[in-house]
Structure 1
Amino acid sequence: MRRFSCQSCGQLLSFENTVCGQCNSILGFLPELVDMSALVAVGDGSWRPLAPLAHGRPRMFCANNAYDVCNWLVSDSTPQGCFCFACQFNRMIPNLDTPGNLERWRKLEVAKHRLCYTILRLKLPVRTRLQDPLHGLAFDFLDDPADGSSTVITGHSDGIITIATREADDAYRESMRVELGEYYRTLLGHFRHEIGHYYWNVLIRDGGRLDACRAVFGDERQDYQSALATHYNRALVDNWRDDFVSLYATSHPWEDFAETWAHYFHIVSTLETALSYELSAGPAVHGEALSALHGDPCTQMSFENIINAWVPLTYVVNGLNRSMGLSDFYPFVLTRGVRAKLGFIHDVIRDAQKKGF
């Protein structure tokens, strides 16, 4: 995430801010510029951004701004009541008549908007369900049936990403994290994992990379349900970290790809934040200090430089967490096998950027 500041007063801003805490300017996010902007009311329901590259052209807020779940803007040529880049992918939202669901939806949208930010920064191809009725991306945020007859399963199927609304409840998510032995179980992590399945379809299956991917992650044609059943019933193998970023990644090549994809998103997004704030993390393991590494990790930095910047940064943030009596921020080890898989993801993304989808 880039560092944002108010164009009216210079105050530092967070991605989710809607009002500047110093000068009270209304704020909105410009997806076409991937930038936050202070706004000036035009008077007809539209707003003039102060971000220089916006050239003062009026914008409208996304229709979901009315629910206080979105601070993104749409172009001046878009009619009122339309959805922004991030919200256009919503197919089903939680039932807002259910107590607590508006707040759950807000949490889901925070995670989804951060996902969409990274998609924009990485310049990845993405199509809506309207553009591609068979395989386009869409999100369903679903509640469990009131009669308790079944539970919604978070997952992906041919472009449809389903997120169980209950995942927005911190207590439930933490209990599942402990029960399943997951290092990370966050809303943003769910989105990044499931979008990995979508991009396996787009960039691997439909991108002519099946053989190359199988050489790294294994053959995805093995029975998926059988592989999952085996995963949940087998004894834990101590050396799984040699080649897998998470225990769940060992279950099936599809899950290995999605877990590694999500981890790459974790790395470049966090590294972008650190570099944006000119954070110095001391000497890297095999290279320059983080403060000496230049370029954009989303579009310019080599994979080697990304890793050389990332590793010492994790030492710093883990140390900070321990100083506060908290668990490690980054409880992972990037072994040679895991780095090879992350490097594959990096190359696939860079190749997609060069093709300019």
Structure 2
Amino acid sequence: MKKYQCTCGNTLYFTNSLCLSCQRPVGFLTDAQVISSCDINSDGHWIATFNGKAYKQCANYADLNICNWLIPLDSADSLCQSCALTETIPDLSKPDNLKLWFRMEQAKRHLVYTLNKLGLPIIGKAQASDGLSFRFLEDELEEALYGRELTIKNTVTTGHSNGVITINLKEAEETKRLEMREKMNERYRTLIGHFRHESGHYYWDILVKHSPCLDEFRRLFGDERQDYQQSLERYYNEGPAADWPDRCISAYASMHPWEDWAETWAHYLHMVDTLESANEYGTSLENKTLANPLIDDYPHTATFNDESFNTLIEDWDKLTNLLNALNSSMGLDDAYPFVINERSKEKLYFIHLLVRAI
């Protein structure tokens, strides 16, 4: 993630809606893909200091302060690209749901930013039946027969189906997410991680399902035609495959080829986004500045020894070693508690080539 600069010289960040130095309103320009401070003219239009163009707030920015994205003034849209993808929002009459919805949308905007930077197609279900949409749902509770204790009547399962990504609202609550992480014996569980993983299922349909590379996918990840429900039950009854550390990026990836792909896809997005941030801050390790993989002139060739992929892996290895060491010094868990084995590198390379070919 990049940082930006207000016209007053103050640093602006992706989540800002106000410059804390000069008090100018701030928004993300959806057409330019940058954060900009703005001046509001006599007509109430937002004039971006970045390019002098006129914008309007996304309706979720203007009405609820859930968003911080701006739309070109002449656009007929009332919602920004990211908010328009949301099909179902939480019940805002309930305490804390506005805050939890904000966290959901913030993570989704982060995802959409990265997908745009990679040049991946983002088409909403309003435009195409096979498009993408999001539902943010919460478990349905019921009151016990005796007493006032609430129990779960229906549990919302985070997942993807035919372009619809559903995420349980409790994933936006830190304590509940940590509780699930312990229950599922996971070393890493984040809100942005859910968005990246579930987007992988959607992009498998877009990039792999009917493509010439399906055979190569099956060689690397396995045959996705094996019964998913049986694989799921086996995973939760017996645990991950014994050899998963040698061929998968995570234990859960060994459950089914679709999950292997989605986990690897999520890690690819972790890598490119975090390395962009490191590059933006001028991070240099071993006398070499870490490269930004989200720029057009990032080195690439169409050979197996793809220079851009080698750079990506080498820089990621250096950076995560540093991040884990820093976290350890602070008494925190590893920022990246994974080891990328050789088989997973092949899978990441497969995704890298698919993305670079777009």
TM-score surpassing 0.5?
A: yes
Separation of aligned partners in 1, 2:212 and 2:153: 41
> Counterpart amino acid of 1:70?
C
1:143 aligned onto 2:138: yes
- Equivalent positions of 1:25-40 (< 5 A) are 25-40=24-39
Separation of aligned partners in 1, 2:190 and 2:91: 22
1:69 aligned onto 2:66: yes
Which of 145, 156, 160 matches 1:156? 160
Separation of aligned partners in 2, 1:121 and 1:58: 23
Unaligned stretches of 5+ residues in structure 1: 283-288, 353-357
1:96 aligned onto 2:92: yes
1:126-148 Cα distance to aligned partner (Å, 9 max, x none): 21112112x11000111222333
Separation of aligned partners in 2, 1:295 and 1:168: 29
- Equivalent positions of 1:229-244 (< 5 A) are 229-244=233-248
Separation of aligned partners in 1, 2:99 and 2:265: 28
Separation of aligned partners in 2, 1:176 and 1:3: 32
- Equivalent positions of 1:1-357 (< 5 A) are 1-6=1-6, 8-51=7-50, 54=51, 56-65=52-61, 66-79=63-76, 82-133=78-129, 135-147=130-142, 148-282=152-286, 289-291=287-289, 293-294=290-291, 296-297=293-294, 299=296, 300-301=298-299, 302-352=308-358
> Counterpart amino acid of 1:42?
N
Contact 2:158-2:168 at 8 Å conserved across structures: yes
Unaligned stretches of 5+ residues in structure 2: 143-151, 300-307
Contact 2:291-2:315 at 8 Å conserved across structures: no
1:197 partner SS: helix
Q: Which residue of 1 aligns with 2:148?
A: none
1:169-214 Cα distance to aligned partner (Å, 9 max, x none): 1111101111111121111000000000000000001333211211
Contact 1:60-1:73 at 8 Å conserved across structures: yes
> Counterpart amino acid of 1:190?
H
1:59-113 Cα distance to aligned partner (Å, 9 max, x none): 001000121110001111125x700011110111111011110010011111101
- Normalising by structure 1, report the TM-score: 0.91
Q: Which moved more, 1:234-243 or 1:98-107?
A: 234-243
* Alpha-carbon shift at residue 294 of structure 1 (Å): 4.5
Q: 1:275 to 1:113 in 2, by over 3 A?
A: same
| Percent identity for Structure 1 against Structure 2 | 43
Separation of aligned partners in 1, 2:138 and 2:178: 18
Q: Which residue of 1 aligns with 2:304?
A: none
Q: 1:236 to 1:47 in 2, by over 3 A?
A: closer
Q: 1:33 to 1:206 in 2, by over 3 A?
A: farther
2:154 partner SS: coil
1:289-340 Cα distance to aligned partner (Å, 9 max, x none): 541x545445424111111111111111111111111111111111111111
Runs ≥4 in structure 1, deviation > 6 angstroms?
A: none
The answer to which structure has the higher strand fraction is 2
Separation of aligned partners in 2, 1:279 and 1:204: 35
Q: Which moved more, 1:17-26 or 1:151-160?
A: 17-26
Contact 2:2-2:277 at 8 Å conserved across structures: yes
Please give the root-mean-square deviation of Cα atoms over the aligned residues, in Å: 1.5
Separation of aligned partners in 2, 1:113 and 1:223: 33
* Alpha-carbon shift at residue 227 of structure 1 (Å): 0.3
Contact 2:241-2:251 at 8 Å conserved across structures: no
Q: 1:294 to 1:236 in 2, by over 3 A?
A: closer
* Alpha-carbon shift at residue 16 of structure 1 (Å): 0.5
